[in-house]
Amino acid sequence: MDNNILEIKDLNVIYKTKTSILGSQKIVHAVNNVSLDIKKGEILAIAGESGCGKSTLAKAIMQLVDVQSGKIILENQNILELKKREDLKKFYQKVQIIFQNPYSSLNPKMKIGQILKEPLEINTKLSKAEIEKIIKDKITKVGLDKNCLKLYPHEFSGGQRQRIAIARSLILDPEFIIADEPVSALDVSIQAQIINLLKQLKEDENLTFLFISHDLSVIKYISDRIAIMYLGEIVEIGKTEEIFSDPKHPYTKALLSSVPELNSSKNKEKIQLKGELPSPENIPSGCKFHTRCPYVMKECNETSPKEIEFTSTHKCKCFLYN
């Protein structure tokens, strides 16, 4: 597996829309032939507009949506083939997720202590005293006082609730955490605190992160590598410095152009993103970006571009480089 903690191979997730009154049903390709390696100890960010498939990819890894085809390999095992309850339990001990909205991801009827205790009671045979010790340790690690264990989620601010959600994700000592837009529901002033906390935890707890966000400033600060996603496909991937200093795909360039502080250099090519993301029910043929691309050529609407390798780490799919 070559230092990879997780390998995704040719993953496809398809949704079917509800049947209309006329009896028609549409197929939505939410994740389209995605292959991705996530290396132990790194923060790999997935960037792209809302609706590009980032969160569906996260849910597919967590087995929260049905996968049409492909493999997700963790420690030489295709996790999509796990059927036994015991095997799935082991998987969820190793892989955890932090959701975007700390208001809805915590059960409002449970005290924080109960929320943190539950996974340990279900998944381990630890004694009461051992469980108490772990809970206190994790809540302190995320910067909260252990007195908060007696309180309910509504007694906390948004930032504090996200800290509690992070503590819950750490409770079983996972190796890999998916953070799905973990700061986008928070005030800007709180976002930096949570991002710094995740960075610190990555070092202290020896974690690997898949970090999903539409915010490139946050991604630039936190990630080691970035995959750019458009309509269910990875169109460019590279180290963070490669993507920011030398973006290749017109879509990546357009995303960077949309954030003025990331695109201040006079020499950097600026591309204005035109129009809306096409609906996943009506995915364009050929290169899926061709309906919005300023460099569109004849072949772009007929054939899908193959991946071009610029360095061993920097790759993109675009006919401009053939």
Q: Which is nearer to ligand SF4, 189 or 282 (CB)?
A: 282
Q: Please select the residue that binds ligand SF4; options are 88, 122, 130, 295, rule is CB under 6 A.
A: 295
Question: Alpha-carbon torsion 5, 253, 297, 286, what sign?
Answer: positive
Annotate 125-174 with DSSP letters as a single string.
---HHHHHHHHHHHHHHTT--GGGGGS-GGGS-HHHHHHHHHHHHHTT--
182 is a site residue for ligand SF4 (CB under 6 A)? no
Q: Which is nearer to ligand SF4, 209 or 289 (CB)?
A: 289
Q: Please select the residue that binds ligand SF4; options are 80, 110, 151, 320, rule is CB under 6 A.
A: 320
# chain residues binding ligand SF4, by CB under 6 A: 14
285 is a site residue for ligand SF4 (CB under 6 A)? no
Q: How far is the CB of 70 from ligand SF4 (least distance, A)?
A: 23
Q: How many CA atoms lie within 13 A of 77 on its CB side?
A: 10
Single out the segment in contact with ligand SF4 by CB under 6 A; choices: 180-188, 218-226, 240-248, 283-291. Answer: 283-291
Q: State the CB neighbour count (10 A cutoff) for residue 128.
A: 9
234, containing H or E segment = strand 233-239
Return the SS3 of 69: strand
Single out the segment in contact with ligand SF4 by CB under 6 A; choices: 27-35, 41-49, 191-199, 285-293. Answer: 285-293
| Pairing between β-strand 176-180 and β-strand 208-213 as defined by DSSP bridges | parallel
Binders of ligand SF4 among 82-111, rule CB under 6 A?
none
28 is a site residue for ligand SF4 (CB under 6 A)? no
Q: How far is the CB of 139 from ligand SF4 (least distance, A)?
A: 47
Binders of ligand SF4 among 242-271, rule CB under 6 A?
249-250
Which residues share a beta bridge with 97? Answer: 178
**Sheet of 176-180, strand order:** 95-98, 176-180, 208-213, 43-47, 225-230, 233-239, 315-317, 307-309
Q: How far is the CB of 308 from ligand SF4 (least distance, A)?
A: 10
300 is a site residue for ligand SF4 (CB under 6 A)? yes
290 is a site residue for ligand SF4 (CB under 6 A)? yes
Interface residues with ligand SF4 (CB under 6 A) are 249-250, 287, 289-290, 293, 295-297, 300, 305, 318-320
